[in-house]
Structure 1
Amino acid sequence: MLTPFGTNIWIAKGPVLSTAGFKYPTRCAIVRLSDGNLVIWSPVTLTPDLKEAVDALGPVKALIAPNSFHHVFFKDWALAYPSAKCFAAPRLEKKRSDINFDATLTDAPDVIWMGELAQVIMRGNMVTDEVVFFHKASGTVLFTDILQQFDKGWFTGWRAIVARLDLMEGTEPQVPRKFRLAFRDRDAARAAVKTILGWPATQVLMAHGRPVTKDANRFLKRAFAWLMA
């Protein structure tokens, strides 16, 4: 149910969701802080088995929706953990007015995870503002949709052609073409990438794609070379 991904971080797989016929696997991360409390990043379906596994790790202190797309299962977690503080990415609160968010994420870590998780907003994108996190204990950079990778054959028919043209397929995760074109403020995006490249990353986790567990910093430089050139 939970897969360890380093010091005090675990992965949980969720269901495959469909958007316009494009199927996306889902994934969330559970971070245990030094005080024993848990931070849930990009919640997936909260099944009884997953809840039992999470509860065995510690009390849930914070729920994080890292961008304006990863919110489908958020309310279920908020209802299951009413004492947890709920954090929304920019633009999400208006979209999900049915959820009582406690705060909108900024570039500054909340006091709950200060010193253990760093963060920066990838601003200037017309599609979404994604908040990228860095878990210091495990050296993990957490992306939601800005980086993606699907194996060849995951999509079929005309969707496979679209995925290939959009750079969703490849030998390693990439920034899809639609996101590249949607960056209207590239200076803001570059500033965020500079922050990300300054983190001592050893691995990269994303919601849609194979995790990168070797040469993470070199990988990140390749992934954003189109923007930083």
Structure 2
Amino acid sequence: MTPFGPGLWLVDGPAVTGAAGFRFPTRMAVIRLPDGGGLWVWSPVALSQEIRAAVDALGQVRHLIAPNSLHYTFLGEWAAAYPDARVHAAPDLTSQVAGTVIHATLGDEPAPAWAGTVDQVIVRGNRITTEVVFFHRETATVLVTDLVQQIPQGWYRGWRALVARLDLMTAPVPSVPRKFRMATRDKTAARNSVRRILEWPTDCLVMAHGTPMRTGGNAALQNAFGWLIR
């Protein structure tokens, strides 16, 4: 567990394997809510004994966040380990797919439990997934899972390395992968969502699939979404 700023910690988990054998690095974020609000866990990674001990040392897990329909692999084991926590999921993730009860569907406005601490925007109009992007106010950090990626070059080998390069998954700068660009069926809706994200006073950028950035986050997002907002 790595401190990333006041009230924010990052945890790197093991790689997971997706379609066509592509392996992806995983990362979660833990935010401590003020006034005894407990812990807010974004995109949970595999729950090892070491991770559980580190999280428990910070406080009580109250909220588990599945930010899109692709980031749910470990949601069930966290829900089982923390039965008093509420599970919040992106609009197109169901309990049947997630393998656990979903207590609330994420919207464009933060839940009362984290309002004033974490802001959020649903990025609509994509056929692959509907992702909810978050902003931690105290550290000026944007949290994004799949819509912006920068997987390290050399992560893939052979034909997968070529596909990842062409898809911009391993681009030199944080980028929206081409498959997500092509899957944007409603560009107006997506553009309106992204404009809200770009209005946040972002300094830091945390990607589930990319090296966290402590500076230049807004410029990186402006560049990543340039294809959409020009």
TM-score, normalised with respect to structure 2: 0.96
For the residues of structure 2 that align with 1:108 and 1:225, how far apart are their CA atoms? Answer: 25
SS at match of 1:67: coil
**Structure 1 residue matching 2:56: 3-state secondary structure:** helix
Q: Which residue pairs with 1:62 in the alignment?
A: 63
Q: Distance in 2 between matches of 1:101 and 1:228?
A: 33
CA distance in 2, matches of 1:97, 1:223: 29
Moved over 3 A (4+): none
CA contact (8 A) 2:95 2:101 kept: no
Q: Which residue of 2 aligns with 1:4?
A: 3
- Give the gaps of 5 or more residues in structure 1: none
Q: Report the counterpart of residue 28 of structure 1 in structure 2.
A: 28
Kept after mapping to 2: 8 A contact 1:14/1:27:
yes
Q: For residue 206 of structure 1, what is the amino acid of its counterpart?
A: M
Check the 8 A contact 1:175/1:223 in 2, yes or no: yes
Q: How many residues align?
A: 228
Using the TM superposition, give the Cα deviation of residue 95 of structure 1 relative to its aligned residue in structure 2, in angstroms. 4.8
Distance 1:161 1:121 in 2: 31
The question of whether the paired residues in 1 share the 8 Å contact of 2:72 and 2:98 is answered with no
Distance 1:118 1:13 in 2: 23
Q: Which runs of 5+ in 2 are unaligned?
A: none
Q: In 2, distance between residues paired with 1:144 and 1:137?
A: 20
The AA in structure 1 aligned to 2:23 is: K
Residue identity matched to 1:8: G
User: 1:173–1:210: 8 Å Cα contact kept in structure 2?
Assistant: no
SS across alignment from 1:16: strand
**Residue correspondence of structure 1 range 1-229 to structure 2 within 5 A:** 2-19=1-18, 20-36=20-36, 37-93=38-94, 95-96=96-97, 98-229=99-230
Q: Quote the offset at 1:7 in angstroms.
A: 1.2
- How far residue 97 of structure 1 moved from its aligned partner, in angstroms, is 5.9
Give the alignment's Cα RMSD to 1 decimal: 1.1
Letter in 2 for 1:4: P
Percent of aligned positions with the same letter in both sequences?
52
CA–CA separation in structure 1 for the residues paired with 2:225 and 2:51: 34
User: Cα deviations across residues 103-137 of structure 1 (Å, max 9, x unaligned)?
Assistant: 11110111110110000011000000000000001
Q: Normalising to structure 1: TM-score of the pair? A: 0.97
SS where residue 5 of structure 1 aligns? strand
